[in-house]
Amino acid sequence: MFKQAFGVDESLYRYILSNSGQESDILAQLREETAQMSQARMQISPDQGQFMALLVRLMQAKKALEVGVFTGYSSLSVAMALPPDGKLIACDVSEEYTAIARRYWAMANVADKIDLHIAPAIDTLDRLLQDQAGTFDFAFIDADKGNYANYYDRAIQLVRSGGLIVIDNVLWSGRVADETDHDKITNTIRAFNTKVAQDDRVFVSVLPIADGLTLALKQ
């Protein structure tokens, strides 16, 4: 099962994957296991995971942050791209879903790189701000949309100058561009997108990868 790229038909998407996909066997196993779950749509796509891993390698990140783990595909992608002494702090509230993530982290021999916090992410981020502000190279936000602005406000303080914040689902299946759609979550994401676009602390690019990715580079 593939979570198809936004705005790309199936044949072209499969062509893209066949010519750029480097999904490891263990990532593929995790993706297939998650695909059998009722909440499988929450899992990121393989091309998105690969793109994030490329970004981590490109910027030679050593310290990363993730808000929203689910079954661990994104955290596994990032952790595998980090150097041996790299560290990922991962935030989630679900013991059930992250138990699957822990199993795959162990299978991939990256469990020692990942520090999982089971608690409301805002609480974890506020604790990190007490002594780790400006120390993260990379942050990924993919959790409850109503708190996106809160997560972003904390992430922008936690990443260093030149650090990168990546935010998922910013196109919301194209609904953000539909002026007749006034669903609560759609409006929330619209407002968040405007907030980031107008933030002079970051250099921003919105990409139509998966369900839309915002890249915010801290100035």
How many angstroms separate the CA atoms of 203 and 187, rounded? 23
Report the CATH fold assignment for 10-218: Rossmann fold (3.40.50)
Q: At what angle do helices 25-35 and 73-81 cross, to 10 degrees?
A: 170
| pLDDT, tens digit (0-9, with 9 covering 90-100), for 91-123 | 999 999 999 999 999 999 999 999 999 999 999
Residue 1 has pLDDT above 50, yes or no: no
pTM: 0.94
| pLDDT, tens digit (0-9, with 9 covering 90-100), for 10-42 | 898 889 888 887 899 999 999 999 999 999 999
Which residue in this structure is represented by tokens 């904390």?
154
Let me know how long the chain is: 219
Separation of CA 84 from chain center: 21
One-character DSSP codes across 90-103: EEES-HHHHHHHHH
Sorted by where each begins, the domain ranges of the chain are 10-218
What is the rounded average pLDDT of the residues 114-133? 98
How many angstroms separate the CA atoms of 158 and 84, rounded? 22
